[in-house]
Amino acid sequence: MEVIGSYHLHLRAVLLMTLAFGLAFSHALPANHLPPQAIETAAFEDTTPTNLQSASPQTTFFNMDQPSLLQGMFVGVALLIWFYIKVIATKRNEIKSTRDCLTDQKPYAMIVEDDPVSQRILTKTLSKLNYQPVVACDGQRALDLLSNHPWSIIFMDCQMPVKDGLTAASEIRAMGNVYQATPIIALSSNNARGFEKRCLAAGMNDYLCKPLSFGKIKSLIAKHNPDHAETTL
């Protein structure tokens, strides 16, 4: 009913065209055609097999030599059925397209990193793992981007200009419940004893030591985004 209601003007036009087509078709007689009375008389005067064979086409339903209003309406109804099928198929395709767009939308992953090499590695890896990566060059830019998307995971470098990763992570956690559940992964080449504990104390969930690799990133995704990992890794 929704499809028919949304296309009622088109259907009304098709119905009118069906009637017009039937009327036009029923009057489209050839110029040299005999009147129906003459055909009926000729058919009954001579009952030889030859003449009966030549006269029999006049009694068929779809006689193109003597079209009727019924035949025209039959063709029009066929066009109307085709229109219904076309409209319903189009509507179903639109619904399917909308559903696919919603289900195929990738989760967002923020890359907070000022090193171009690390940016490229993370961007390429997260894209392969079915994320939409977004890069921020410092901690302040990361804070500015927070409200743009619902972030599935954040990779945060610890040493950056403007605002370092430890400060940015602690400020994110202080913002409230909305950002409490977002995993933040610390990135650093600092292997000093106790540095990982500082990252965890700042509100980060895990620590990833550089150099970066596909295997390390994939492992952390499986650990902190298990629902996403089950369908993509």
Mean pLDDT over residues 168-196, rounded?
90
Q: Which residues of 151-179 are buried (b: 16+ CB within 10 A; e: fewer)?
A: bbbbbbbbebeebbbbbbbebbeeeeeeb
Range list of β-strands (E), 126-205:
132-136, 151-157, 184-188
- Report the pLDDT value the prediction gives residue 101, as an integer from 0 to 100: 40
Nearest to 144 by CA among 163, 130, 166: 163
- Report the pLDDT value the prediction gives residue 28, as an integer from 0 to 100: 53
* Separation CA 74–CA 72 (nearest Å): 5
Residue 176 banded pLDDT, cuts 50, 70, 90: confident
Q: Which CATH class is domain 108-232?
A: alpha beta
- Domain chopping of the chain, boundaries: 2-103, 108-232
Q: Which residues of 29-47 are buried (b: 16+ CB within 10 A; e: fewer)?
A: eeeeeeeeeebeeebeeee
Nearest to 1 by CA among 76, 87, 101: 87
pLDDT tens-digit readout, 188-202 = 998 887 899 999 999
- Report the pLDDT value the prediction gives residue 44, as an integer from 0 to 100: 46
Cis peptide before 183 (omega within 30 of 0): no
The CA-to-CA distance between both ends of the chain, in Å, stands at 43
pTM of the prediction? 0.56
Structure tokens at 14: 């098709």
Torsion on CA atoms 46, 47, 50, 52, rounded to nearest 10: 110
For residue 164, report the phi and psi dihedrals to the nearest 5 degrees: -75, 170
Mean pLDDT over residues 5-9, rounded?
50
DSSP per-residue codes, 59-100: GSSS-SSS--HHHHHHHHHHHHHHHHHHHHHHHHHHHHHHHH
Residue with tokens 């006689």: 63
Maximum Cα interatomic distance, the chain, rounded to a whole number of Å? 117
* Separation CA 172–CA 157 (nearest Å): 14
pLDDT above 70 covers a percentage of the chain that reads 56
pLDDT tens-digit readout, 26-55 = 555 444 444 554 444 444 444 445 444 444
The more confident residue out of 172 and 3 is 172
